[in-house]
Amino acid sequence: MSSLPIESTRSIVYRESGRFAGWPANYGMWGWGEEVVSIFVAGWLGPDTGLHPRDKSRPFAPVVARSLDGGRSWSHEPFTGVVPGGVQTLSGDEHVDESLQIGPRLDEAAFVEPEPVAFTDPETVVLVARTGIVDRARSWFYVSRDRARTWSGPHPLGTFGERAVAARTDVVPLGDHEALFQLTTGKEDGSEGRIRSVWTGDGGRTFEPRGWVGDEPEGWAIMPSSLRLDDGTILCARRCAGVGDRTTKPHWIDLYASDDQGQSWRLVGKPVPDAGAGGNPPALVGLADGRLVLVYGSRAEPYGLRAVISTDRGSTWAATVITDDTAVRDLGYPRAIAMDDGSVLAVFYSNDADRSERFIEAVRWVP
């Protein structure tokens, strides 16, 4: 198997000496023809902690990367949304010391009710943010109506009676003011986590809990990536882990489907039986010809970006190596979108040595 598919191109989205840029999956990626926006965070390299050599005494601030040529070149802009708590770090309290965390400073009274969101408007995008990942984690969202240049928010999501809501961006439009928000929540003991669908029918002003995507797991099932098929079926891929030590317990990606707009979910299969030590979240993309592409970072050697492709709505999958030249397993967390020409553009974080800066890379290929 070749290390790169035919007709693939790669580019550096963000790389700065001494910096740790990471985790695009936590934020969002959107496209308008050849204009593309990806959001991630940038901090600093620090001591080796077993996976992420990051400096927890300095903030991880969001960066808006924009390409006007389909991912070949990128510029960087600040995130203009209001980060609650008067700190710079967004969606990652676990990556910084308490003095830089939102959670201890979060005043939910500062949340503002949104103007009704038009979820089917192509100019409108929604970004979901959070404090941490375990007990007492809280989440909210932002809305941009001008291609991620300005943002309203933070807007409240609520807790739905859960001990933690540690959501990343996964929003499924159902109608003009109707959508499912796919939320990672805490388990009964407050640990991470499982996935619940919540529904809004008034443009994000109120939310109603719907079904759980699978039973409460022994390990965890987090970080959903969802899409709606032409017949109304909603698919949801989950990042999963069993029990045991982080480096030895199993990690995989499975796929669920809902035929009733998130009220109930059924298991379809396991597109990625082994995602490597530590696992990686999925990025699920639907192509115009009906194929599904699921992109993920492989923390099993050779490290790099992978994809599996289905021609039968997720029943069976064929594997593809996208990249295989990442030095160590601190990588992945991709976002991906389908481009107008039938190609897929993915953005992920990578490295080229154990102590190299962590940088954001893009790859575009024709599946």
pLDDT in tens, 154-166: 999 999 999 999 9
pLDDT for 257-310, tens place per residue? 999 999 999 999 999 999 999 999 999 999 999 999 999 999 999 999 999 999
Burial of 168 (0-12, 13-18, 19+ CB in 10 A): buried
Q: Say whether pLDDT at 6 is over 60.
A: no
Is the CB of residue 156 less than 8 Å from the CB of residue 113?
A: yes
33: tokens are 């023809």
Is the CB of residue 347 less than 8 Å from the CB of residue 362?
A: yes
φ and ψ at residue 216, rounded to 5 degrees: -60, 125
Is the CB of residue 127 less than 8 Å from the CB of residue 147?
A: no
Q: Return d(Cα 362, Cα 206) in angstroms, integer.
A: 36
Which residues make beta-bridge pairs with 76?
65
- Written as one letter, the residue type at 294 is L
Q: Say whether pLDDT at 2 is over 60.
A: no
> What is the percentage of the chain residues whose pLDDT exceeds 90?
94
- Written as one letter, the residue type at 260 is D
Is the CB of residue 175 less than 8 Å from the CB of residue 120?
A: yes
